[in-house]
Amino acid sequence: MSVAAVFRGLRPSPELLLLGLLFLPAVVAVTSAGPEESDGDLSCVCVKTISSGIHLKHITSLEVIKAGRHCAVPQLIATLKNGRKICLDRQAPLYKKVIKKILES
């Protein structure tokens, strides 16, 4: 009798169930969102960068993309002679020298 009474008291009310159902889609939406989502041009192009190993003579062009609404950080992209594109670490002093050297050439 007392055990049945306790369980009867713990039974959730219909209002509480409805509230849980309302929150469930929000939880699913949050968990399903992933960092890999891309909106075409409206996202960062560079996922990771390299700090060394690229020589000036292999670079056919350098592109500097300014930070903006599409991407919070500036991006430095080198196009090599073999057609590949590589993101460079803009903090590396080496590439600041590379840009300066290219502009002075």
Partner 1 sequence: MIPATRSLLCAALLLLATSRLATGAPIANELRCQCLQTMAGIHLKNIQSLKVLPSGPHCTQTEVIATLKNGREACLDPEAPLVQKIVQKMLKGVPK
Residue ranges of the annotated binding site for heparin are 96-102
Among 44, 54, 79, 86, binds partner 1 (CB under 8 A): 79
For residue 9, state whether it binds partner 1 (rule: CB under 8 A): no
Q: Does 46 bind partner 1 (CB under 8 A)?
A: no
Minimum distance from residue 103 beta carbon to partner 1 (Å): 5
Helices assigned H by DSSP within 1-105: 2-10, 14-32, 93-104
C-alpha to C-alpha distance for 15 and 5, rounded to whole angstroms: 21
CA-angle at 11, arms to 5 and 16, nearest 5°: 150
Q: How far apart are CA 12 and CA 8, in angstroms?
A: 9
User: Using the rule CB under 8 A, is 1 a contact of partner 1?
Assistant: no
Q: Point out which residues bind partner 1 (CB under 8 A).
A: 56, 59-68, 73-74, 76, 79, 90, 96, 99-100, 102-105
